[in-house]
Structure formats: C-alpha cells, structure tokens
C-alpha cells in the first residue's frame, strides 16, 4: 500500500491509498473553495448521561446530486470534485460538513472505489484489503489526536438508511468521548469478569455462538453469526477468532482472510430478499434489476486511554468486531424504530435470529 497525503483548496486533508507503490498523486484542487465553517458542539444530556452533537451547518450539505455531479467521483475535465485526481483506488478526506470538529472530534469520508455504480460487495479481495488497511491507518492516526477517545469506522448504504450520496463510501468518526453503546459493553464486560472469576464475556459469547445454530460463515480466522438477541431483522456479527482490541492489532493472517468472508457476507445480504425493482414507467421489471439491501456496517473498537468507570477492565479485554444489519425485514417492508425502540430503547424483532441465520446460510452469492 502507498499512502499520499495532500490538502484540498480549503485546507482539509485528503489521503490517497493505492495498491501500487509507483502511483503518483500530484493533482491540485482547482476549486475556489472558501474556508470550512462549522458549528459543532457536544452537549451532555444530564438525565441520560450521554452526549448529543449539535451541528446546524450540516443542513447545507450536498443532498442526492445527479450522478454526473457526484462529489465523490474523480475529477474530470471541467467537473471538479472532492477528489482532484482523475482516478483513485481508495481515498479518505476530512468531511466538509462534519458532525464533529475541532475539540469535538473529527469526521472523515472513505471512498471505497472510483466506480460510482459499484458497491463494497463488488470490490475484489485486493480492493477490500486496501479499504481495511485504510481503516487501520486512520484508526492509528486519529487515536493520536488529543481530544479523541474512540474511533468508529462505518458504512451506511441505501436511501432507506438516509444516505444522501450514492457513491460507494463510508465514514470515520473520531469521538472525544466513549460512546454510550461501547459504555454498555464495557459495563457488561466488567460485570461478567467479576461474576465469573475473571472470564472474558466476549470470549464466552463467541464460544457459545460457535457451538450453536446461528453461525452463518466461518473461516480459519473469522466467524460470522446472527446473535442470540439480535435487535434487527437480519443482523450479523463478524469476529476474529483471536480476540484483539482494535484493527491495529489484527495479524496478517486475519487481514488476509477478512476480504473473502466479508465480501461473501455482503453478497449474501444482497440476495436475502432478491427484490425486483419496477422501472417506474409501466411497472415492469428490467432484466437483472434488483433492489440492493440497505445496511449499516459498523466496526466496534476499544476506546483509547483509560477506561474510567470500568474498574478491572482494560483495552485488551475488549473484542474488535463488526456488526452488519439491515432495516429491511422482508421484501418491500422496513423495520421502523417506533415507540418502544425510539422511546424506551427496547427493540422488537419480527424475525427470529435462528430463521435469519438459516436464510443467510442458504442463499448463494453468485
């Protein structure tokens, strides 16, 4: 992997990640951009003890542009985008409309490929490995920022999820605090360790799932399963078999195997519904046209620094894992976060996890 760092016209950092060591990235950003102006601030909810990012400047962000105006495609001729070069493998850059900025953290965009019409599932294993290397590098770099406590790499896909740019991409949030979801995991981890005389909760959960009926895929170094208490209709957790706290700690064997299993998992997600899409004119379905499954793919990594409030637990007790889930519960129907979920954080899942695992095992990815 070759890494080339440069700056956009407004001073934001942009980094090219190339598979070839001889790649040259010298294109300059020719856009007349003004300085980035953000209003991000973090406010604490005194009743719940969590944090809310207030970012009113995001109201003006780019919203569903036509394909020929996509800001994530390479620049071409007079059409200048966020990526100055005419091609790229993987690119990461600071978000112009960040949810977190300055002392409140940092937000970055990760472009998986220059192909506007592709998806992560269309990548080759080599391309997927390059994305993994980019996630790892950014986790390392962002962890050194004084304000950052946790790095979160994720992908939102599909208009149903709320994606406003159709180009295949993800994001990285560097939070100045430990997120509430991670805090709950750490609390459970500490409690389990105390109750069981030092046993690790992640290890025990993984062992139980591997011995059960909800495993979807398993390789030499990774295993994917639908969790016992899945919140979402189709939800899969992907764990390295050797517990590590973050992406930086993965060994070469796990890095090499990851693309094959993850790409297979994404392709199965795209086939669980096999939903045809009418063309909008006479209701007919063009040959080969299918509605891609909307999903969120989220990496869970250990926070950096001391784990305050979680006595007896260290970073090494945490287990890196990826959670992949869709809000689609069946063809043409979405899972909405209604009263119980949104009002009380109590999920109600219409699809038994065992049935979801069986469905994901039976679908082919060809």
Which residue of the set 64, 167, 169, 310 is catalytic? 169
The two most distant CA atoms of the chain are separated, in Å, by 65
Pairwise CA distance, residues 173 & 155, whole Å: 11
Q: CB–CB of 81/74 below 8 Å?
A: yes
End-to-end CA distance of the chain: 29
Q: How far is CA 200 from CA 118, 204, 323, 339, 345, in A?
A: 40, 6, 19, 34, 26
Q: CB–CB of 155/109 below 8 Å?
A: no
Question: Is 169 assigned a catalytic role?
Answer: yes
Measured from the Cβ of residue 61, the count of other Cβ atoms closer than 10 Å reads 14
Residue with tokens 């207030």: 54
Collapsed DSSP state (helix, strand, coil) of residue 239: strand
294: tokens are 């909307």
Q: CB–CB of 35/11 below 8 Å?
A: yes
Q: Dump the DSSP string for 42-88.
A: EEE-TTT--EEEE-GGGGGS--S--GGG-TTSBPBTTB--SB-SS--
Q: Which residues are catalytic?
A: 169
């Amino acid at each position: 992997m070759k890494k080339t760092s440069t700056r956009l016209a407004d001073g934001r950092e942009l980094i090219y990640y190339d598979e070839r060591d001889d790649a040259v990235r010298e294109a300059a950003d020719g856009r007349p951009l003004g300085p980035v102006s953000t209003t991000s601030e973090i406010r604490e909810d005194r009743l719940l003890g969590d944090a809310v990012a207030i970012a009113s400047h995001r109201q003006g962000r780019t919203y569903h542009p036509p394909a020929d105006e996509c800001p994530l495609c390479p620049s071409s001729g007079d059409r200048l985008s966020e990526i100055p070069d005419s091609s790229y493998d993987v690119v990461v850059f600071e978000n112009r409309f960040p949810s977190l900025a300055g002392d409140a953290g940092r937000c970055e965009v990760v472009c998986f490929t220059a192909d506007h019409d592709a998806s992560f599932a269309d990548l080759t294993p080599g391309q997927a490995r390059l994305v993994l290397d980019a996630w790892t590098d950014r986790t390392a770099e962002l962890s050194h920022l004084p304000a950052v406590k946790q790095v979160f790499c994720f992908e939102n896909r599909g208009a149903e999820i709320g994606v406003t740019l159709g180009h295949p991409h993800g994001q990285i949030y560097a939070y100045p605090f430990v997120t509430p979801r991670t805090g709950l995991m750490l609390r459970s981890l500490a409690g389990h360790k105390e109750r069981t005389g030092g046993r690790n909760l992640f290890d025990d959960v993984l062992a139980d799932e591997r011995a059960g009926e909800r495993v979807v895929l398993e390789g030499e170094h990774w295993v994917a399963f639908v969790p016992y208490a899945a919140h979402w209709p189709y939800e899969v957790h992907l764990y390295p078999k050797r517990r590590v706290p973050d992406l930086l700690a993965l060994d070469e064997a796990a890095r090499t195997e990851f693309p094959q299993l993850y790409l297979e998992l994404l392709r199965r997600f795209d086939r669980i519904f096999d939903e045809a899409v009418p063309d909008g004119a006479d209701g007919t379905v063009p040959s080969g046209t299918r509605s891609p499954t909307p999903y969120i793919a989220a990496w869970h990594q250990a926070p950096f620094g001391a784990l305050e409030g979680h006595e007896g637990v260290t970073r090494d007790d945490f287990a890196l894992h990826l959670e992949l889930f869709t809000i689609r519960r069946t063809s043409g129907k979405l899972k909405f976060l209604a009263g119980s979920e949104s009002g009380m954080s109590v999920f109600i899942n219409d699809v038994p996890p065992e049935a979801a695992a069986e469905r994901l095992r039976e679908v082919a990815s060809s």
